[in-house]
Chains A and B, each alone.
Chain A
Amino acid sequence: MAAITSRLARARVRLARRRTWWLAGLVLVALVYPYVVRPYQLSLAIEVLIFAIFAMSLDILLGYTGLVSFGHAAFFGLGAYLVAYTTLGVTNNLLVTLPVVVAGTALAALVAGFFAIRTSGIYFLMVTLAFAQMLFSIAIRWSSVTGGSDGLSGVARPAIGLGPLSYTFDSRTSFYYLVLAFFIFSWWFLRRVVDSPFGWALRGIRENEQRMLALGYNTFRYKMAAFVIAGVFAGVAGMLLTQFFRHAAPENLYWTTSGQVMIMLIVGGTGTLTGPVLGAAVIRLLPNYLSTYTDRWQTVLGLTFILFVLFAPRGIMGLWERFRQRGENREHSAD
């Protein structure tokens, strides 16, 4: 027994050390990034980070719990409209807008989840899609509040502060650092959740819900919790995007947004948390890169997605795993 636990412990230490170096390097690159790139590339980085948060949030639901939601844009868009409405009507102070977004999306997730989580599989897919489309429909029609199909514009960049001490994230660079901070926090927080006993329970539900019930787990509550966490982080992502573009649009609620984030997950690799980040980068950056070479970049993007589904269903992370396994196998056969 001692031999196993010490082997496990050694492997963990090795992994943790390697990881720490990687992370430190990445953080460093991220911190100096605004000073070494052009403004357009900085904007792209901001978009990627925002969609990375959005994608990670869906991974909790889809990748870890196995709940395939086709309506995740509901929370993304809800966050967008909540921050737009609050900023235009009350204040752009994050100390107000952030709690509004968090509370609003959490509440919506509790209500939607209460009904949706009674279903599973294809029915869950349809119920979540319906919920998002319902919000989209409200956004289009309730023009007095939502600006109708035009959405809400003129949303000021966020500020943070109390009384006289206040800082506004007006410039692209300062907003980049704000988004980076949100991203790092989201990454850290969701990583902790996923590695916790609760996170393992989610995986258990994904793998075999009946067995989880037989072990005494109230799986409904776990699924609800996952749904709310996912919804809140999606809402925060929606908030950041709206603050970036200074505009909340009905498209933020539309099923194509739900679809886009699902594609990010599949391309990156579900159930890995890192995968969605990579997927967000690929799906946001590829069109930009491709459109300089061809008008048919959407076709290329579609083909890329199909190729992934056919040959690399576990996404980039899956390919990386396979690459690593081959490396290990070669090591072992060389002994």
Chain B
Amino acid sequence: MAVNNVSIAVEAGERRAIIGPNGAGKTTFFNLLSGELRPLSGHIFLDEREITPLPPHQRARLGIGRTFQRNNLFLGLTVYENIQLAVQQRLGLASRWLRPARTFEDLDREVVGLATTLGLEGRLFEPAGSLSYGEQRQLEIALALAMRPRVLLLDEPTAGMSPAETAKMVQMIAGLPRDVTLLIIEHDMDVVFSLADRITVLHYGQVIADGVPEEVKGNPKVLEVYLGEA
């Protein structure tokens, strides 16, 4: 069982880190939250509302945004077009079918603005597939942010990044407004401790610890699990 008897409650506006060794079920857990996977049993609530039966696109519309562990972009489309797809959906323009997309000025402005916020304005018209790994990671986040989610699931946002890129990413995440609740899967402990309000530790699909960073740091079970981890 990839995720076994996991019970987690996250407060609005909280920054919750989900950590654990590889294979602990962290991404599977995210997939259950965003709707890509259905649980065999159990319930998921967003603000007291049960969302367990809802498919991914409906959960996204309720405000659950996510990034993916492996870049999940529109590689054949330009950076601009990638962000446009996210923004036009949020603006409710996505089903407009007889007016060219480029004539919607607020769409254009927001796309360029978001790209600039994430430092991608220089690559706006390049195909996403030609971006560097770090830039693609930034585009991943841009797509999730474009939805203005209430809950943002960040799956290893700094994976594969250089220290400089990681620092930039952490700064950006820390700068997100508190009306966005964050769940972050991370392996980099420095990132975890600089961002998290609370930490949940998963191991073989089960929660083995849950608390504020200081508690978790000293938890013997957690230390045992991480001993020997590179």
User: Which chain A residues have a beta carbon within 8 Å of chain B's beta carbons?
Assistant: 1, 4-5, 8, 12, 192-193, 195-201, 203-204, 207-208, 210-219, 225
A197 and B101 within 8 A (CB): yes
Shortest Cβ distance from A3 into B: residue: B121
B72 and A198 within 8 A (CB): no
CA distance A203 to B74 in the complex (A): 9
A213 and B57 within 8 A (CB): yes
B56 and A204 within 8 A (CB): no
A195 and B102 within 8 A (CB): yes
A200 and B81 within 8 A (CB): yes
B108 CB contacts on chain A under 8 angstroms: 5
Q: Does B3 contact A (CB under 8 A)?
A: no
Within the complex, what minimum Cβ distance (angstroms) separates B117 from chain A?
A: 11
B98 and A216 within 8 A (CB): no
Q: Which of B72, B94, B96 contacts A217 (CB 8 A)?
A: B94
B143 and A215 within 8 A (CB): yes
Q: Does B61 contact A (CB under 8 A)?
A: yes
A1 and B112 within 8 A (CB): yes
A207 and B95 within 8 A (CB): no
Given contacts A12-B102, A195-B100, A200-B81, 12 further A-B contacts (CB under 8 A): A8-B125, A196-B97, A197-B84, A198-B94, A203-B74, A211-B73, A214-B36, A214-B57, A214-B60, A215-B147, A216-B57, A216-B147
A213 CB contacts on chain B under 8 angstroms: 55-57, 60
CA distance A219 to B84 in the complex (A): 16
Whether A208 contacts B72 in the complex (CB less than 8 A), given A197-B95, A213-B55, A215-B143, comes out as yes
- Top 5 nearest A-B pairs by Cβ distance? A216-B60, A198-B97, A195-B100, A207-B74, A216-B61
Instruction: Render B177-191 as a binary contact track against A, CB cut-off 8 A, 1 for contact.
Output: 000000000000000
B57 and A218 within 8 A (CB): yes
Q: Which of A192, A208, A219 contacts B74 (CB 8 A)?
A: A208
A211 and B113 within 8 A (CB): no
Give residues of chain B (80-137) contacting chain A, Cβ–Cβ below 8 Å: 81, 84-86, 88-90, 93-102, 104, 107-108, 112-113, 116, 121, 124-125
A192 CB contacts on chain B under 8 angstroms: 97-100
Whether A215 contacts B86 in the complex (CB less than 8 A), given A197-B93, A197-B95, A197-B101, comes out as yes
Q: Does B211 contact A (CB under 8 A)?
A: no
CA distance A30 to B126 in the complex (A): 37
Q: Does B76 contact A (CB under 8 A)?
A: yes
B56 CB contacts on chain A under 8 angstroms: 213-214
B27 CB contacts on chain A under 8 angstroms: none
Within the complex, what minimum Cβ distance (angstroms) separates B46 from chain A?
A: 14
B2 CB contacts on chain A under 8 angstroms: none
Q: Does B75 contact A (CB under 8 A)?
A: yes
B147 CB contacts on chain A under 8 angstroms: 215-216
Shortest Cβ distance from A5 into B: residue: B112
CA distance A207 to B77 in the complex (A): 8
B104 and A4 within 8 A (CB): no
Q: Does B200 contact A (CB under 8 A)?
A: no
Q: Does B34 contact A (CB under 8 A)?
A: yes
A214 CB contacts on chain B under 8 angstroms: 34, 36, 56-57, 60, 65-66, 68, 72
CA distance A115 to B102 in the complex (A): 34
Shortest Cβ distance from A212 into B: residue: B85
A208 CB contacts on chain B under 8 angstroms: 72-75
CA distance A267 to B99 in the complex (A): 29
A199 CB contacts on chain B under 8 angstroms: 97, 101
CA distance A16 to B47 in the complex (A): 49
Whether A4 contacts B57 in the complex (CB less than 8 A), given A207-B75, A215-B85, comes out as no
Q: Which of B55, B74, B95 contacts A211 (CB 8 A)?
A: B74
Within the complex, what minimum Cβ distance (angstroms) separates B124 from chain A?
A: 6
CA distance A255 to B72 in the complex (A): 36
A207 and B96 within 8 A (CB): no
Within the complex, what minimum Cβ distance (angstroms) separates A321 from chain B?
A: 13
A1 and B99 within 8 A (CB): no
CA distance A203 to B61 in the complex (A): 20
Within the complex, what minimum Cβ distance (angstroms) separates A45 from chain B?
A: 29
A207 CB contacts on chain B under 8 angstroms: 74-77
Within the complex, what minimum Cβ distance (angstroms) separates B83 from chain A?
A: 11
Shortest Cβ distance from B124 into A: residue: A4
Q: Which of B61, B65, B101, B124 has the most CB of A within 10 A?
A: B101
CA distance A288 to B64 in the complex (A): 58
Whether A215 contacts B74 in the complex (CB less than 8 A), given A1-B116, A200-B88, comes out as no
A225 CB contacts on chain B under 8 angstroms: 97
- 11 A-B pairs in the complex with CB atoms less than 8 angstroms apart: A1-B112, A8-B125, A192-B99, A196-B98, A201-B85, A201-B94, A214-B65, A215-B89, A216-B61, A216-B147, A225-B97
B125 CB contacts on chain A under 8 angstroms: 8
CA distance A200 to B101 in the complex (A): 8
CA distance A219 to B97 in the complex (A): 15
